[in-house]
Structure 1
Amino acid sequence: MVATLLRLRFRVLGNQLARSPWQLVGFILGALYGAVILMGIIAGLVLLGFTDVRLAGIVIVGAGSVVTLGWALIPLVAFGVDTTLDPDRLVVFPMTTSRMMVALTLAAVCGIPGIITSLAALATIATWAHWPAAIAAWLVSTPLAVLTAVVASRAVAAVASGFGGGRRFREVAGILVFIPIILAGPIIAGLAGGVRVNADTVAELLPLVGWTPLGAAWAVPADTAAGDLPAAAAKLLIALATLAALWLLWRASLARSLVRPRLTSAAAVRAGSIGWFGRVPTGAAGAVFARAVTYWTRDPRYLRQLIAVPLVPVLLWFYARDGDSLGALAFSAPIIAFIIGIVVYADISYDGTAFGTEVATGASGRADRLGRTLAAAAVAVPLVLVAAVLPLAFAGEWAQLPGMVGMALGILFTCYGVCAVTSAQLVVPVPASGDNPFKRVPGTTFLQGMAFFGIWLVALVLSAPAVIVGVAGYFLRNPALSWVAFGIGIGFGTAVLVAGVLIGGRMLDRTGPVLLARLKAMKNA
């Protein structure tokens, strides 16, 4: 059964690549990028073998610990969790939970990240071959290190989905896990406060990482090569205990999720209550607005984007706390405007096949663009204005308020205008409603990431006039430039927004059925 599931995993991948030439190109580029990184790692490991055993141990343990931590955290915030073999779909197969976990682990190892990690771990033999005593330890610890990284990613993803809870608990847990990751820099810097960071300090601290679950497996060959067999045995026990604990954590979460429905019934509501649909004018634009506002206020996939709103001022204050912290906080509004303005670049993707209702009713593309934009603005504009007013109010710099508001709203409106066009052309694989908001579904490609950054670049370029004048007015303390920035930001941003709604609306009239077909294909993938 495990072999059958692995063949299924590669069959799904092959079908995706065959269906889309662009996905194939993205897959090839990603594989080439990984190959280049791997060759660099192997070259470094070969050279490392000609150094002393202490330095070799420090480098490998430090790098290996970062790899393990990356496997656990990066999929949650960058690419999500690979669900080509989704446990929810595998529940109908006649297999035990343990066998399913083995299949999922092997599937992860056989992916591009898993292959690169495995080959890099195997390549450490190029270093440890210079110390024959370390070869036996390498044979045991290398598979252990790779398995720990892979199982850690699955276990952490299970916890982020909401360990042992219902749908609402999973959604809240999946969102809250994002907060400490964003604040990782300040947290680490705060813990390291007062410690002078230099080469000697790093050399003293990194060996301690070998006694932690992150680095224990990577440290076993180093201690064996140095002749410290008791330390090597102790770290091997730590590595085995870590893998066992992660395995049990993953097993408990997986077993519970497979016997408990992933979706629970909706909360009871008063008869006749239809939420936002009863509070807005009737018509296509009003219906789209009501649905989009409901998403922004209740859907964890949208709420995740709003986490950045309170965290941006925290980060700006932290990194500028030794200087003009209030001045740094003043720029919270433009940054927040860009973050929450650009996330609607493929807004229809979050509708899923529910978008078919809109296509079937014959709603115009302009009504769709207008409704979605007004809904996003209803949430974002108050947040941006608060972020612009409060820092300047505390600093007493009211003369700079027009420029800051002009920059922030100009960026926000520009992003909405750009996204009104792109979301009429693009649909991308996203987590379904009720899924872990960090989940990566099959079909995500390198080229989609490049397209996203291209959209960022276009929005930044179009926002540049207001930003340049606004920044100049702020630092020159020139009220006239502040008002000029306000005029440019509001005027040019509104023009981009109106043009985006009109152009995107005409595009959507033509592409609506095509987008729906793509959404259905993604759902059936």
Structure 2
Amino acid sequence: MVAQFVRLKLTLMANTFRRSVWQTIGVVLGSLYAAGVLVVAVGGAIAGGTSDAVVTGQVLIVVGAVLVLGWWLVPVFLYGVDATLDPHRFATYAIPRTRLLAGLAVAGVVSIPGIATLLATVGAAFAWWRTPTAVLAALVGAVLAVALCVVGSRAVTTALSPLLESRRSREVLTIITIVPLMLFGPAFSWFAQRTESAAEAGADAVPQALADISALVSWTPFGAPWGLAAAVHDGAWVAALGRLAVAVATLAVAVWVWDRALTRTLERPVEGGGKGARGKGLGLFDRFPATPVGAVAARAAIYWVRDPRYSTSILLIPLLPVVLFFATRSGGSEVIVILAPLAAWIAGFAISNDIGYDHTAFALHVATGIRGSVDRWGRAVPVLVVGMPLVVAYALVAAALSGRWEWLPPLLGLSVGTLAASTGVSSLVSARWLYPVPRPGESPFKQPQGAAGATMVAQAASTGLVGLVSLPGVALTLLAILLPSPVLGWVALVVAPVVGIVTLVVGVRWGSRIYDLRAPELLQRVLSYA
């Protein structure tokens, strides 16, 4: 039965090369990237073990614990990433649950992340090549670590599946996820600064901190498998047995949780539906003009509020000041000047594939005969209405934090111009270049199979066009700040918005013309991604 599951998974992986060229390119690029990371990681571990096995063991414990924790948590946030062997599909085959668990567990390794993790853990075991007994312990730890990765991941996702069945819960989870992802860079910068300060204070400060952290992590369920080899290398056999017991006990608990959760989901599946919300008027449709453009704008605004694929873009913008605040602490207060233009570009870029995000709902526009100008302006209006006061406020914040109020005119001009230009370019690009995106209800972080190449081309074209049309405003702003020249600053305040508004009008009209000519083809393209 286990072999059958593995053959099934291998067949599904092989079929990915037959679906589309872009999907094949994406798989190949992902495999090459994983191979590169694998070579660097294993080579670094062996080289480190040759020079200093103790420190290398401490690093492996910390990094390995993060790897196991990532396997447990990432699938929760990227719900629906890999459903090729969904247990619900085997419910009617009366497969004994123990065989089903074993087959799913082994098949879980048969994927690019799974194979890379297996090879990395086994390869890292040879960092202890100077101590054969430690190599054997490391190989045992590698098997336990991979088992914990796969079984723990399945246990967590299966146990939380009733929660993830609720779309509102998934939306809240997505919003919670984006915050630590955005703050990871600033946190890493802060940690690097603290490490540098500690190193200046004393040469042994950093190694001692690493030793303390690894000693603590090695007794956790995530780091225990990685601590086996280190304990054997040091001759601490009692500690090795203790860490082995922690790893085995954790694996046993994970199997039990997975078994119970799988039994519940197969025998008592969560039923869809639920209590409907009471109607409270027309919502945003009451707040927009009763015109075709107003109706499209209201629908687009609802997406921005309720669809996590859009709301994640909105959440990026309020977090930008936090990210740039940490950047200014290490790179100077001048970095904050990009706050408003960057927010303007993000806001406009958010609708660069809005037809793709519509999914099957785009059929409503085609069936009702909505003209291209109505569709394009209706989608652009919410961006401009919300984005304009936001980028103006951010320009004021940037001038205040930097203490350079003379920079305010060029920053205002560049920010307003970038918002208009980015919205205009996105109105054109979204009607010309469609690419696969997560479907409604799926994680906004999910990358559809075969979408990597098309996504990169479309996004590169959009970014390049925005940069090209924004070049006059960027040049005037830089000259006004670097010279400095107040006169050029006021010139930028006039020129950049004018160029942006012209780009907006041209982009909307061009996109409208393409929409009118290709609306049925656009719908066919969107439906092909379903």
Normalized against structure 2, the TM-score is what? 0.83
Judge conservation of contact 2:344–2:387 (CA < 8 Å) in 1. Answer: yes
Aligned amino acid, residue 421 of structure 2: T
Change (3 A) 1:172 1:74: closer
Deviation of 1:256 (Å)? 6.5
Pair 1:416 & 2:423 matched: yes
- What is the deviation of 1:158? 7.4
- The superposition leaves residues 114-162 of structure 1 with CA deviations (integer Å, 9 ceiling, x where unpaired) of 2112112122343334322123323321122123334555567679989
Q: Equivalent of 2:525, from 515, 518, 521?
A: 518
Shift of 1:479: 2.5
Q: Do 1:329 and 1:391's aligned partners in 2 also have CA atoms closer than 8 Å?
A: yes
Structural mapping, 1:287-326, within 5 Å: 287-321=295-329, 325=333
Distance in 1 of aligned mates of 2:192 and 2:45:
29
The answer as to 2:266 corresponding to 1:259 is: no
2:473 corresponding residue in structure 1: 466
C-alpha distance in 2, partners of 1:487/1:511? 36
Aligned letter for 1:433? P
Q: Distance in 2 between matches of 1:509 and 1:97?
A: 55
Q: CA 1:324–1:29 in structure 2 vs 1: closer, same or farther (change >3 Å)?
A: closer
Residue 47 of structure 1: how far off its partner (Å): 3.9
Which secondary structure state, in structure 2, belongs to the residue aligned with residue 259 of structure 1? coil
Q: 2:348 aligns with which of 303, 328, 341?
A: 341
Once the two structures are superposed, residues 407-458 of structure 1 have per-residue CA deviations (whole angstroms, 9 ceiling, x without a partner) of 2122222222222232223444433333344344444435534643453344
| CA distance in 1 between partners of 2:191 and 2:272 (Å) | 38
Q: How far 1:292 sits from its partner (Å)?
A: 0.6
Report whether the alignment pairs 1:225 with 2:229.
Answer: no
Q: Which residue of the other structure, out of 228, 237, 250, is the alignment partner of 2:245?
A: 237
Residues 62 and 428 of structure 1, relative CA distance in 2, 3 Å threshold: same
Change (3 A) 1:389 1:375: same
Deviates more, 1:205-214 or 1:156-165: 156-165
Sort the Cα spacing of 1:323 and 1:131 in 2 relative to 1 into closer, same or farther, 3 A.
Answer: closer
Of all paired residues, the percent bearing the same amino acid is: 35
**AA matched with 2:210:** L
Aligned partner letter, 1:306: I
> Unmatched 5+ residue regions in structure 2?
none
Establish whether residue 82 from structure 1 lines up as the match of residue 81 from structure 2.
yes
1:508 aligned to 2:480?
no
Pair 1:274–1:71, CA change in 2 (3 A)? same
Indicate yes or no: 2:55 matched with 1:18. no
Residues 58 and 203 in structure 1, CA contact (< 8 A), matched pair in contact too:
no
Q: Are 2:273 and 1:269 aligned?
A: no
Match of 1:32 in 2: 32
1:380 lines up with 2:387 in the alignment: yes
SS in 1 for 2:235: coil
* Conserved 8 A contact 2:165-2:270: no
- Say whether the 8 Å CA contact 1:410–1:466 is kept in structure 2: yes
Tell me the residue number matched to 1:425: 432
- Any idea what SS the aligned residue of 1:433 has? coil
Q: Does the 8 Å CA contact 1:407/1:485 hold for their aligned counterparts?
A: yes
State how far apart, in whole Å, the 2-side matches of 1:386 and 1:495 are: 23
Trace 1:94-493 onto structure 2 (pairs within 5 A): 94=93, 105-151=105-151, 163=163, 166-187=166-187, 196-198=197-199, 200-207=204-211, 208-209=213-214, 210-211=217-218, 212-243=220-251, 255=264, 259-261=269-271, 264-270=274-280, 273-282=281-290, 284-321=292-329, 325=333, 328-392=335-399, 398-445=405-452, 448-449=455-456, 451-493=458-500
Distance in 1 (CA, whole Å) between partners of 2:102 and 2:139 is: 21
- Summarize the Cα distance change of 1:282–1:469 in structure 2 as closer, same or farther, 3 Å threshold: same
| 1:139-191 residue CA offsets vs partner (Å, 9 max, x unmatched) | 32112212333455556767998947843233212211221232234445557
In structure 2, C-alpha distance between the alignment counterparts of 1:103 and 1:461, rounded to whole Å:
53
Query: Aligned pair count?
Result: 519
Q: Contact conserved, 1:138 with 1:220, CA < 8 A, in 2?
A: yes
Shift, 1:312, TM fit: 0.9
For residues 320-349 of structure 1, give each alpha carbon's deviation from its aligned partner in whole angstroms, at most 9, with x where no partner exists. Answer: 247865x55453211212223223221122
Q: Secondary structure of the residue that 2:414 maps to in structure 1?
A: helix
What is the identity, as a one-letter code, of the residue corresponding to 1:507? I
CA contact (8 A) 2:436 2:448 kept: yes
Contact 1:171 1:437 in 2 (8 A): no
Question: Does the 8 Å CA contact 1:411/1:463 hold for their aligned counterparts?
Answer: yes
Moved more, 218-227 or 7-16: 7-16
- Distance across 1 between alignment mates of 2:261 and 2:438: 19
**Cα gap change, 1:80 to 1:462, in 2 (>3 Å):** farther
The change in CA–CA distance for 1:282 and 1:455 in structure 2 (over 3 A counts) is: same
CA deviation after TM superposition for structure 1 residue 76, in Å: 7.7
Structure number with higher helix proportion: 2
Report if the CA contact (8 A) 2:26-2:450 is conserved: no
Q: Does the aligned pair in 1 maintain the 2:352–2:430 contact within 8 Å?
A: yes
Structure 2: distance between partners of 1:463 and 1:156: 47
Structure 1, 94-103 or 125-134: larger mean CA deviation? 94-103
Partners of 1:56 and 1:222 within 8 A in 2: no
> Post-superposition shift, 1:217?
1.6
* CA offsets 1:294-332 (integer angstroms, 9 cap, x no match): 10122222111111222111122223247865x554532
The root-mean-square deviation of aligned C-alpha atoms, in Å, is 3.7
Give the equivalent residue in structure 1 for 2:505: 498
Give me the whole-angstrom Cα distance separating, in 1, the residues matched to 2:73 and 2:420: 33
Aligned-residue offset at 1:247: 5.9
Report the 3-state secondary structure (helix = DSSP H, G, I; strand = E; otherwise coil) of the residue aligned with 2:466: helix
Assess if the C-alpha contact under 8 Å between 1:158 and 1:250 holds in 2.
yes
- State the 1:62 CA deviation: 4.3
